[in-house]
Amino acid sequence: MRILHTSDWHLGKLLYNQSRYDEFECFLKWLQESLLSHQADVLIVAGDIFDTMTPSNKAEHLYHHFLAQAFKNHIKHIIIVAGNHDSPTSLQKTKEVLGVLNTHVIGSATDNLEDELITLYDGETPSAIIIATPYLRDRDVRTSGDAQSIEQKNSDLLQGVADHYHLLANLAKQKQQYIKDTYQITIPIIATGHLFVAGSSVSSADDGMRDLQVGTLGQISASIFDDDIDYVALGHIHASQIVAKQSRIRYCGSPIAMGFGEIGRHKQVLIVDIADGQPIQVNALSVPIFQSLAKISGELDFIYDNLAKLSEYDQDIWLEIEYTGSKVLPDLRQLITDAISETRLTALSIKNRSTYKGSLSQGVTSAVPKLEMLSATDVFDKRLEKEALNDDEKTALKHAYQTLLKELQETDTKAQ
């Protein structure tokens, strides 16, 4: 059996308000071709298909068109689980229709664990058991009431997630044994997960991952994945990596750079080969770059020199420019605009650090970086700095804020 593992498409995501639909379309076309050329039997998408819980019509069209084309190309099975950016309701609403296209969609956990167990067949013969687990929200695994500390709620969440996977693994092994007794074959168990495994490394500060971790908040131990699970296809972290030094537990990472901080990061999907009696084989398949990005930071002359070099390339390049010189340049944006007016370069972001430093040095305290440059956590931290609190109090407030932010971001807006 050959599996192609991908995740974190984030269809509909903007980069400094710039539409990226052409990139997404190119990626999905490339993925379609890769499924065919590498003769994949199963496609697993481990969460965050969309960037928001209310995806645009264009984003949904790309998604459904891809699945329809995959069916026409005779891809045997497609497994899709929801991520924290996805709306479980939105994904589930087309579940029955997509089931006709050999596509299994799991939007959220239910009271019936069997809903997350999918047995794949090759003709009449079972070929694999999939533990298709989506992103688990607090309400999915809650074991106690609301009246508890932040630390206790986090501890209960982690334990609830671990218990959820252990129960599913036991059910999968029972099903595996039944199939062995019935068909005299041992089929593999594959699990999915959309979560932050402790020890994993994020790709960059601007890679689009929601900043929900403070200390160990929300981080899950790799020990939740039973040793009898042959492969764990993970999503959520945008950097491809092996987890806990176990080659069977993998993040494939996002297929395109989600921010300028990811420039130079290797983007890939994973080809997983499972053969009876043989060690599992995992190989990376590099994803082409469909939109060039460049980041320039420095003095004005340095910026000009690099703009000139980049303009020599016969391609569209999106830029993030940061001026760090000491001279105040209030007209920096116009200077950059003039410099690239006859080129295929587009400046999506121009950061003028000198303006902030110059204003502050003159005693003007109202000059602050633009809001688009700050995350929700950055804003909270800056507000917290104004309070006369000790470190323990600040840490407690950060935990409380992160929990509130997490609950807000996990609200299924379409279910309301």
95 versus 37: which is more confidently predicted? 37
Q: Which helix (H) or strand (E) holds 173?
A: helix 150-183
Question: Tokens 């300028």 correspond to what residue?
Answer: 260
Q: Is the dihedral of CA 194, 200, 203, 204 positive or negative?
A: positive
Per-residue pLDDT tens over the stretch 190-212:
999 999 998 888 877 777 665 54
Structure tokens, 327: 């001279």
45 versus 211: which is more confidently predicted? 45
Angstrom distance (rounded) from CA 326 to CA 352: 11
| Long-range CB contacts (within 8 A, 24+) of 219-223 | 219/158, 220/158, 220/161, 220/162, 220/195, 220/196, 221/158, 221/162, 221/197, 222/197, 222/198, 222/246, 222/249, 223/162
Instruction: Give the DSSP per-residue string, 195-227.
Output: SEETT---S-TTSS-----STTTTEE-GGGS-T
DSSP letter at 287 equals: P
Residue 36 phi, psi (nearest 5): -75, -50
Average pLDDT over the chain reads 87
Torsion angle, alpha carbons of 275, 189, 133, 71, to 10: 40
Q: Which of 95, 33, 122, 120 is nearest to 70 (CA)?
A: 33
Domain architecture of the chain: domains with CATH: 2-286 (3.60.21.10), 292-358 (3.30.160.720), 369-411 (no CATH)
Q: Where are the alpha helices (DSSP H) in 232-361?
A: 300-311, 332-339, 353-361
Q: What is the pLDDT of residue 145?
A: 62
Structure tokens, 186: 């041992």
Angstrom distance (rounded) from CA 307 to CA 205: 24
Q: What is the pLDDT of residue 379?
A: 77
Task: Please tell me the pTM assigned to this model.
Answer: 0.86
Angstrom distance (rounded) from CA 33 to CA 180: 35
Q: Are 320 and 349 in contact (CB under 8 A)?
A: yes
What are 297's strand-pairing partners? 322
Angstrom distance (rounded) from CA 197 to CA 319: 32
- Per DSSP, the three-state class of 346 is strand
Weakest-pLDDT range from 53-67, 145-159, 184-198, 272-286: 145-159
Angstrom distance (rounded) from CA 396 to CA 121: 50
Chain-centroid distance, C-alpha 253:
7
Q: Are 326 and 308 in contact (CB under 8 A)?
A: no
Beta strands in 67-177 (DSSP E): 77-81, 103-106, 117-122, 125-131
- Per DSSP, the three-state class of 323 is strand
Q: What is the pLDDT of residue 252?
A: 97
Angstrom distance (rounded) from CA 12 to CA 55: 7
Angstrom distance (rounded) from CA 138 to CA 160: 8
Q: Estimate the crossing angle of helix 332-339 against helix 300-311, to 10 degrees.
A: 20
Per-residue pLDDT tens over the stretch 287-325:
999 999 999 999 999 999 999 999 999 899 999 999 999
Given pLDDT bands bounded at 50, 70 and 90, which one contains residue 257? Answer: very high
Instruction: Give the DSSP per-residue string, 12-65.
Output: T--BTTB--HHHHHHHHHHHHHHHHHTT-SEEEEES--BSSSS--HHHHHHHHH
Q: What is the pLDDT of residue 323?
A: 96
Per-residue pLDDT tens over the stretch 102-133:
899 999 998 899 999 999 999 999 999 999 99
Ramachandran sector of residue 218 (left: φ over 0; alpha: ψ -120 to 50; beta: rest): left
Q: What is the pLDDT of residue 366?
A: 40
Q: What is the pLDDT of residue 414?
A: 43
Cα angle, residue 177 at apex, residues 184 and 107 outer, rounded to 5°: 120
What are 130's strand-pairing partners? 118, 190
